[in-house]
Structure 1
Amino acid sequence: MINTARHILEVKGPDVWSISPDATVYDALRMMADKDVGALLVMEGDRLVGIISERDYARKVILVGKTSRDTLVREIMSSNVFTIHPDQTVEEAMEIMTNRRVRHLPVVAEGHVFGVISIGDVVKNIIYRQREMIKNLASKPKE
């Protein structure tokens, strides 16, 4: 079985938490805390225009002396968003995340956002698959 981004979303669920670029960073942080996520997609209607993460907040608000209540999401979001197609493999997701130094990948096809996978989702999937492989190898009859 080929393990894909689509498979991860089937297991974790397709919830997509997003915010408008015109919202305050404070509102974004509150939503991240409420949803227990480390990043939100920044959407204008159905269009993905960016991503905002806890890392963006730490580096682009706190460290430069801004305040989260007076800063808009559009001012600190990452607008160059790396995405993955639902049919790309978990290994490809890991490679993109490692090479691009990102922790969240929106799963997108033909302009439609299917969900988001995190580095934690990818690692959990790889560990599960390795355990299953070990279990299968251990249960094979010895020749």
Structure 2
Amino acid sequence: MTTARQVVESKPSQSIFSIPPTATVYAALQLMAEKGIGAVLVMEHGKIVGILSERDYARKVILMQRSSRDTLVRDIMTSSVIYVSGDQSTNECMALMTKHRMRHLPVMNGEDLLGMLSIGDLVKDIISEQQFIIEQLEHYIHGGSR
């Protein structure tokens, strides 16, 4: 079973993108667009204080008729950040993301941030694992019938 740490370490880019809570939502959106990501960690003094996702923007700026240039990240971020430890399995991560209806999950090693997992990262890994198992079973079946 793959761990959250292994998935983070296997990602082509292990960069962690963050923004301070005092930044504008517009600046956060620019960063997300530039990096091709759907969420950004909100960090202050090296600590996670929140997370801002495209969903937060849609629900707390657009639908509330706010301006992204005038609204600060701290005003719309999700401040109760759910995270996992690096040794948790991808199945545990998927279950947590499904239960809480979230698409991004920080991975921690104690106080240290290892990276961020997206639902896409987990789906890709789980499909890869299942494909490996299928190939092994097919090899076993064909090898055993000779």
TM-score > 0.5 by shorter chain: yes
Taking structure 1 as the reference length, what is the TM-score of the superposition?
0.96
Q: Is the 8 A contact 2:85 2:110 kept in 1?
A: no
Structure 1 residue 54, shift from structure 2 partner = 0.3
2:129 corresponds in structure 1 to 129
- Structure 1: which 5+ runs fail to align? none
Structure 1 residue 32, shift from structure 2 partner = 0.2
User: Kindly, what percent of the aligned residue pairs are identical?
Assistant: 51
Cα distance in 2 between the residues matched to 1:10 and 1:113: 12
Larger deviation: 107-116 or 118-127? Answer: 107-116
Larger deviation: 113-122 or 7-16? Answer: 7-16
Structure 1 residue 14, shift from structure 2 partner = 2.4
Cα distance in 1 between the residues matched to 2:66 and 2:72: 11
SS across alignment from 1:64: coil
Q: Give runs of ≥4 in structure 1 deviating > 4 Å.
A: none
Cα distance in 1 between the residues matched to 2:46 and 2:138: 47
1:4 corresponds in structure 2 to 3
1:31 corresponds in structure 2 to 31
Computing the radius of gyration from Cα coordinates, the structure with the larger value is 2
Cα distance in 1 between the residues matched to 2:109 and 2:49: 15
Structure 1 residue 38, shift from structure 2 partner = 0.1
Cα distance in 1 between the residues matched to 2:26 and 2:105: 23
What's the CA shift string for 1:17-53, capped at 9, x where partnerless? 1000000000000000000000000000210000000
RMSD: 0.9
Cα distance in 1 between the residues matched to 2:7 and 2:78: 24
Cα distance in 2 between the residues matched to 1:78 and 1:116: 15
Which amino acid letter does the alignment assign opposite residue 9 of structure 1?
Answer: V
SS across alignment from 2:116: strand
What's the CA shift string for 1:100-135, capped at 9, x where partnerless? 111000001222111000000000000011111111
Equivalenced residues, count: 142
1:142 corresponds in structure 2 to 144
Which amino acid letter does the alignment assign opposite residue 142 of structure 1?
Answer: G
1:107 corresponds in structure 2 to 107
Which amino acid letter does the alignment assign opposite residue 6 of structure 1?
Answer: R
Taking structure 2 as the reference length, what is the TM-score of the superposition?
0.94
2:66 corresponds in structure 1 to 66
Which amino acid letter does the alignment assign opposite residue 71 of structure 1?
Answer: T
Q: Is the 8 A contact 1:46 1:112 kept in 2?
A: no
